[in-house]
Amino acid sequence: MNILVIRFSSLGDLVTLEPTFRAIRYFFKDANISFLTTNVGKGLFQDSDYFDEYILHKSIFSSIEKFKKQEFDLIINLQCNKPSHYISLFLKKKVYVNKSHTFFHKLVGIKAKSKTIQEIIEATNYISQEKIEEYFKINDEVIKLPLGKEKFFKEKLDKKYIAISTGTSERWLSKRWGINKYLDLIKILIKDNYQIILVGSNLEIEDSEFILRNFNNNEVTSFVNKTNLTELKNLLSEVDLYIGNDSGPSHIAAGVGTHTITIFGSTDIKHCVKFMPYSGKHEFLKPTEDIKCHPCYKTKCPTHMECMESIKVKKVLEKIEELFNV
């Protein structure tokens, strides 16, 4: 049996789909499962046995070209946008998606189901209801990202390690806690004998350089833009705490079971948290109640980032004390 699973982005969404991928592999142990995704999806799951093949999506036409000689018995479309629907339509097989029914789905002949993992498995019509119910009685939906075989830190100092990422995606500037707040936080943490590790992508290079200029050698170590996703997963699994904005690294840290403190800005924490079935201790900091414009869901603040300004360094320190029972 050949199965195609489709999901292109984003990093956080891919992380939260780990229990779905795990369930698909459980119920289709002997199937050849291909994953149409991006380098991000491959980087997150190549250390697992969930997929037999990773097909990197660049465009509708390039993906269709790759599939000309391939046949699939089942397509599970977890992306649910027009490119993924057109690719599914080209393959002319029954397609199951995890969104509500829309006119476009009807137009291209797609059967739509709800978002729950159980209903996605049920929709395939390959597995008995009894087996499905038995699986979900004993298997939780907690995210457990697969790790690489190699440890990231060969040696560690005798102190607690805290990883920090200062950034967000380029689009969501309204989710950024100020760099000066991170700097003030790090200064206090170093005085309290914590080892600080900076992580992130090329988007955080400027922040990293700014922070490093304020400290002596070895007080802060930066791995910003120096790790691939497998290395980042392993790094975050080996630290004692992760602190960052509502962004991809926060999802990864939580997904590997590390204690996290996530700082929320323009988005509603209640809406976001329900999609985060993580293990371990996770704290979420949100703007104070007197910020009337929150949540605005704007990607860029038209005023002065009052929501983020209301979250003080002291509040983050209090959460750290709670997590470590200081």
Q: Where in the chain is the domain with CATH 3.40.50.2000?
A: 2-138, 161-324
Band of residue 86 on the pLDDT scale cut at 50, 70, 90: confident
Superfamily of domain 2-138 in the CATH hierarchy: Glycogen Phosphorylase B; (3.40.50.2000)
> What does each C-alpha distance from 59 to 63, 78, 107, 148, 168 come to in angstroms?
6, 17, 21, 29, 25
Q: What is the largest CA-CA distance in the chain?
A: 62
Q: What is the mean pLDDT of residues 34-39?
A: 96
306 SS3 class: helix
Class at the top of the CATH hierarchy for domain 161-324: alpha beta
**Structure confidence at residue 39 (pLDDT):** 95
**215 C-beta neighbours (distance < 10 Å), count:** 15
pLDDT tens-digit readout, 128-177: 999 999 999 888 778 899 999 989 998 888 999 999 999 887 787 778 89
**Structure confidence at residue 105 (pLDDT):** 45
Query: For the whole model, what pTM was predicted?
Result: 0.86
pLDDT tens-digit readout, 225-265: 999 999 999 999 999 999 999 888 999 999 999 999 999 87
**Cα-trace Rg, the chain:** 21
The whole-angstrom separation of Cα 106 and Cα 213 is 57
